[in-house]
Amino acid sequence: MESKIEVLSTVKIDYQADLYKIVDALNRTLKRENLMFGLALDPESQDKAVFTIYRT
């Protein structure tokens, strides 16, 4: 069975230490809706984070 992941939206935001808590809450709450959320540091600027919404 093949799993496709579709990127719905990506946005760069100012990095804050607790952002991962929001992403964790979204993932736990909305996984039944086939949504997944990601957070990564922007490789170009350590002061920015990249927040991505996926459909699984």
Q: According to the model, what pLDDT value does residue 49 have? A: 98
pLDDT tens-digit series, residues 12-45: 999 999 999 999 999 999 999 999 999 999 999 9
Find out whether 15 and 41 touch, Cβ atoms under 8 Å: yes
Note the pLDDT of residue 1: 57
Q: What is the DSSP string of the chain?
A: -----EEEEEEEEE--TTHHHHHHHHHHHHGGGTEEEEEEEETTEEEEEEEEEEE-
Asked if residue 3 has pLDDT above 80, the reply is no
Determine the residue type at 22: I
Residue where the block lists tokens 């996926």: 54
Average pLDDT over residues 49-54: 98
Strand partners, 12: 50
